[in-house]
């Protein structure tokens, strides 16, 4: 069995105007203790994993509470056996790692190496894909070389736009020139897998500036691209300006929904024309370059999240760590579980996840398998959606109509009843 490990680094240089993630600008003095805590959590989870499979550390089924790192690294009493899948769990091989954030490229490169070394020490690893999220302005020749030497083999760059007016209005710290420079440095360091993120719907974005960003992306030809539709979160500074008015964050310069949808659709067309395979609503890859780690989320495969706010799923339960980095570090230091929320996934939730996550992939889902597994009758709803042109169904596979991806949420609502 393969396992993905996600490591969350919640530090950013500045707070983007549209962002409402649990990330922020923290004192650099927190970086090292935070990485210490990440390494201790890896040691604790590694010990649990080796002994009893991947289980939430404070779950009743784990047979014990979360113990201090040095104690749990050498469990002194046997853990209750978990069931048939346990042996598969304890022999699981970590094949994908994703270090995301936040802006993990802000960390000293030695800290990235320390995290990966700890991971190798605690788990059986055969790394196929090790991704690091990096913002363009944080990338130097030295850092790129050190990341590569540490075992990172894929960089996901937060480009968002190639237009300096849009970048400035969004509160991004980089400019277009930084993306060109960073791409060159990464290639020189040896990276053969680079992904760019773009956002469709930034303030001041126009059809012409969007087309220009797409063309710059295609010229640099990353192996993978993600295009996200701008989501206005009420908790972000931009979202509050949309609600209450003002001009500081350019809320009045936001493109409307129709414009945003047309940006996305033109992105689909241009990327397809240049050989990128559209495999998930927001993701494209050149052949052989899909994100193996992210596919685990959409396929409901197990992953272990390490760090503040990181989520985990073991095939039965989902849990999330404390969001606040200081609270997370304090919990780990005390040997207390940082997991704050834990829930067993009910059959109904599992069915909803199968549909919601599965249909994000353009290859769709095996409807017959899902109906049988969950004893669910979905055919009449599927037929209504098919007649409306929103989905395609060949008798086995159900998928979103490629031309109607921008209304995917409506399909999910209809399908889930
Ligand atoms: S870099 Fe990412 S996580 Fe950090 S503030 Fe910007 S959008 Fe949020």
pLDDT (tens digit per residue) in 101-112: 999 999 999 999
Q: 3-state class of 221 per DSSP? A: coil
pLDDT of 286 higher than 80: yes
Stretch 126-138: mean pLDDT: 98
pLDDT of 67 higher than 60: no
Ligand 1 centre distance from Cα of residue 139 (Å): 16
Ligand 1 centre distance from Cα of residue 210 (Å): 21
Q: Average pLDDT of the chain?
A: 90
Q: How many beta carbons lie within 10 A of that of residue 197, not counting itself? A: 20
Ordered by start, the domain boundaries in the chain are 2-298, 347-416
Q: C-alpha angle with apex 238: 247 to 227, nearest 5 degrees? A: 125
The per-residue pLDDT for 73 is 32
Query: Which phi and psi (to 5°) does residue 226 adopt?
Result: -120, 130
**Percent of the chain whose pLDDT exceeds 90:** 82
CA dihedral 79, 80, 86, 90 (to 10 degrees): 0
Ligand 1 centre distance from Cα of residue 104 (Å): 11
pLDDT of 48 higher than 60: yes
pLDDT of 69 higher than 90: no
**Percent of the chain whose pLDDT exceeds 70:** 91
Tens digits of per-residue pLDDT, 135-185? 999 999 999 999 999 999 999 999 999 999 999 999 999 999 999 999 999
Stretch 361-370: mean pLDDT: 95
Stretch 3-10: mean pLDDT: 97
Q: 3-state class of 385 per DSSP? A: helix
Q: Does domain 347-416 have CATH number 3.40.190.170?
A: no
Q: Which fold has domain 2-298?
A: Transcription Regulator spoIIAA (3.30.750)
- Residue 220: HSE in the Cβ half-sphere, 13 Å Cα cutoff: 29
pLDDT of 126 higher than 60: yes
Ligand 1 centre distance from Cα of residue 8 (Å): 12
Cβ atoms of 155 and 131 within 8 Å: the answer is yes
- Relative to the CA of 18, which ligand 1 atom is closest? 7
Question: Any residues with Cβ below 6 Å from ligand 1, and which?
Answer: 12, 15-16, 19, 21, 23, 101-103, 158
The per-residue pLDDT for 208 is 98
pLDDT of 388 higher than 90: yes
Helical (H) or strand (E) element with 154: strand 154-160
Stretch 242-251: mean pLDDT: 94
Q: Whose CA is nearest to atom 3 of ligand 1?
A: 102
pLDDT of 17 higher than 70: yes
Q: Of 20, 21, 133, 238, which is best to mutate to test ligand 1, by the most ligand atoms within 8 angstroms of its C-beta?
A: 21
Stretch 223-242: mean pLDDT: 95
Ligand 1 centre distance from Cα of residue 102 (Å): 5
The per-residue pLDDT for 267 is 98
Q: pLDDT confidence of 393, banded at 50, 70, 90?
A: very high
Q: pLDDT confidence of 76, banded at 50, 70, 90?
A: very low
Tens digits of per-residue pLDDT, 298-346? 999 999 999 999 999 999 999 999 999 999 999 999 999 999 889 999 9
Output DSSP code: residue 389: T
Q: Whose CA is nearest to atom 2 of ligand 1?
A: 102
The per-residue pLDDT for 361 is 96
């Amino acid at each position: 069995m393969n396992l993905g490990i996600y490591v969350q680094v919640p530090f950013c240089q500045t707070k983007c105007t549209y962002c409402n993630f649990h990330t922020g600008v923290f004192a650099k003095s927190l970086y090292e203790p935070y990485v210490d805590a990440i390494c201790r959590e890896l040691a604790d989870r590694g010990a649990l994993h080796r002994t009893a499979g991947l289980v939430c550390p404070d779950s009743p089924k784990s047979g014990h509470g979360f113990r201090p790192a040095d104690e749990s690294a050498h469990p002194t009493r046997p853990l209750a056996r978990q069931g048939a899948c346990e042996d598969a769990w304890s022999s699981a091989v970590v094949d994908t790692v994703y270090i995301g954030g936040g802006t993990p490229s802000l960390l000293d490169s030695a800290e990235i190496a320390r995290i990966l070394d700890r991971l190798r020490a605690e788990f059986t690893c055969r790394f196929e894909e090790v991704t690091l999220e990096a913002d363009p302005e944080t990338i130097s020749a030295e850092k790129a070389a050190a990341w590569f030497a540490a075992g990172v083999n894929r960089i996901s760059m937060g480009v968002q736009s190639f237009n300096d007016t849009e970048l400035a209005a969004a509160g991004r710290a980089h400019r277009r020139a930084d993306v060109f420079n960073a791409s060159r440095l990464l290639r020189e360091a040896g990276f053969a897998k680079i992904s760019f993120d773009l956002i469709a719907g930034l303030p001041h974005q126009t059809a012409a500036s969007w087309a220009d960003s797409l063309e710059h992306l295609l010229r640099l030809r990353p192996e993978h691209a993600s295009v996200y539709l701008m989501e206005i979160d009420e908790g972000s500074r931009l979202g509050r300006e949309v609600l209450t008015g003002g001009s500081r964050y350019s809320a009045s310069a936001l493109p409307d929904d129709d414009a945003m949808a047309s940006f996305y659709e033109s992105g689909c067309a241009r990327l397809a024309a240049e050989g990128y395979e559209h495999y998930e609503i927001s993701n494209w890859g050149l052949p052989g370059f899909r994100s193996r780690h992210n596919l685990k989320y959409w396929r409901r495969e197990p992953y272990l999240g390490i760090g503040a706010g990181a989520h985990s799923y073991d095939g039965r339960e989902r849990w999330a760590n404390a969001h606040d980095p200081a609270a997370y570090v304090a919990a780990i230091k005390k040997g207390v579980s940082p997991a704050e929320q834990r829930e067993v996934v009910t059959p109904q939730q599992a069915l909803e996840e199968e549909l919601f996550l599965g249909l994000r992939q353009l290859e769709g889902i095996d409807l017959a398998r899902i109906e049988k597994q969950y004893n669910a009758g979905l055919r009449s709803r599927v037929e209504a959606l098919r007649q409306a042109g929103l989905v395609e169904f060949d008798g086995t596979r159900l998928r979103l109509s490629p031309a109607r991806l921008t209304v995917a949420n409506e399909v999910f609502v209809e399908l889930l009843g």
